[in-house]
Amino acid sequence: MKTNMINMTSGNTVHLLLTFSVPMLIGNIFQQLYNLADSVIVGQLIGADALAAIGATASITFFFFALCNGTGSAGGIVTSQFFGEGNDAKVKNCIVNTAFIMIVVPLVIGTIAFFCAGPILRLLNTPENIIADATAYMKIMCLNLFLVSAYNFVSSMLRALGDSKTPLYFLILSCILNIILDLIFVYTLHLGVIGAGVATLISTIICSILCLGFAFKTNPYFKFTRADLHLNSAILWKCIKLGVPISLQFSMIAISCMALQRVVNNYGAVAVAAFTATSRIEQLIHQPYQTLGAALSTYSGQNYGAKNKERLAEGFKKSMLMTAIFSLAMLPIMQFLGNAITRLFVKDPEVITMGAKALAITSWFYIFLGIIYMVRGVLNGVGDAFFSLLNGITEVIGRFTVPFLLTAIPLFNVWGIWWSVGIVWFLSAATAYWRYIYKRNRIEL
């Protein structure tokens, strides 16, 4: 049966990375359009306060999603290593064991998150005029947690097998449906922020069910026998051993983002709206780095399983070169077109001006953002669990200290928010690159 799987243990490195990452990039951009659709439609049709309400929940929901998806990502890395070894039985059993984890964890965390939504938003000093909408939107996202985790599980497994195209097809369909439902619920039925959340929920249900069904129907590794359907303590432990540090890494990043959000909230709804707009834009900037890093993770996992260390080093060098080219290309766009880009999200002139200046600040630091993703890709691919924890700790320390210090200096004031974003990227990149050199010098890479 014809599949979209790619074996990355041989062939031209750049061609393989681009072939794998471009469909995933398109898919991730469409995934970001979920948030962008909500933000643009709500910001344009309802106003800056509604946009701020959605933005105020971003770091919190990211925290709960991070807790769930770390183990799924680890399962994908372990699967890619078994695939590189050519061990089909372990590939199938790893998919089954990861599925078990990804059923239990999201149900538990989603339930807790639903009932904690309001108290957490108040703890972060969310402005009173937006807290009702923010709480309602966050609760809907908590209901969405299991569905998103189900989709991320399937896509992680398929990408581990070199298939980055199948998840793309269903994301495109789901994103189009989400935009249509956003317009119906927000514009036609006037359901406001709640309508935007319900549109995302319905779209995710359809995306998850179709993607999972398609994988069972077409991918040979999803065609299980009775021998495959058992829990394997060794594989479970391997996934948990790698997944817990990855979850902690992203959870700590999410906690640090909440700390930054608390600083932003102190400056009022205009600053929250501007921060929301720039964050949505930068989520798109993250995508080329993120997808190339994910491609490098699969590439590294397969080659590590095949014990081909020369290709590991080559993949990292080529990825860093592509990262530098993209970073330089984005710099003039953000420096000179910030107003036009921010205007896509909101009509308020004050928010637009603040957002444009913020983009001009952070764009100088994009290269460091790229370094983080490339190092994360290669080290996660070879199963370096300690790196994930180290990188998360660096983010937490940076975001808990730098924003508070900079915004307290009159020269920076509110702009210290965005300068701190760039400085934390730099600190994380420096720590990540040090870890890569450490591993390389011990002939582990």
Query: What is the reported pLDDT for 362?
Result: 94
Query: Of 289, 264, 426, which Cα lies nearest the Cα of 355?
Result: 264
Rg (CA), the chain: 21
pLDDT digits (tens, 9 = 90+) for 17-43: 888 788 778 777 776 666 666 677 777
Query: What is the reported pLDDT for 1?
Result: 38
| Length of the chain (residues) | 445
Cβ atoms of 382 and 236 within 8 Å: the answer is: no
pLDDT digits (tens, 9 = 90+) for 80-109: 888 888 888 888 999 999 888 888 888 888
Q: Output DSSP code: residue 46.
A: T
Query: What is the reported pLDDT for 2?
Result: 43
pLDDT digits (tens, 9 = 90+) for 57-73: 877 887 888 778 777 77
Query: What is the reported pLDDT for 385?
Result: 67
Percent of the chain with pLDDT over 90: 18
Structure tokens at 435: 């870890």
Q: What amino acid is encoded at 144 in this protein? A: N
Cβ atoms of 391 and 376 within 8 Å: the answer is: yes
Cβ atoms of 176 and 155 within 8 Å: the answer is: no
Question: Residue 133, Cβ neighbours under 10 Å: how many?
Answer: 23
Structure tokens at 370: 């790229």
Query: What is the reported pLDDT for 4?
Result: 61
pTM > 0.85: yes or no: no
pLDDT digits (tens, 9 = 90+) for 162-188: 777 787 788 788 888 888 898 898 888
Q: What are phi and psi of 347, to 5 degrees?
A: -95, -15
Query: What is the reported pLDDT for 338?
Result: 87
Q: Based on the number of CB atoms within 10 Å of its own CB, is 128 exposed (0-12), middle (13-18) or buried (19 or more)?
A: exposed
Q: Based on the number of CB atoms within 10 Å of its own CB, is 194 exposed (0-12), middle (13-18) or buried (19 or more)?
A: middle
Beta-carbon contacts of residue 308 (< 8 Å; ≥ 6 apart): 9
Q: What are phi and psi of 330, to 5 degrees?
A: -75, -25
Percent of the chain with pLDDT over 70: 96
pLDDT confidence bin for 51, thresholds 50/70/90: confident
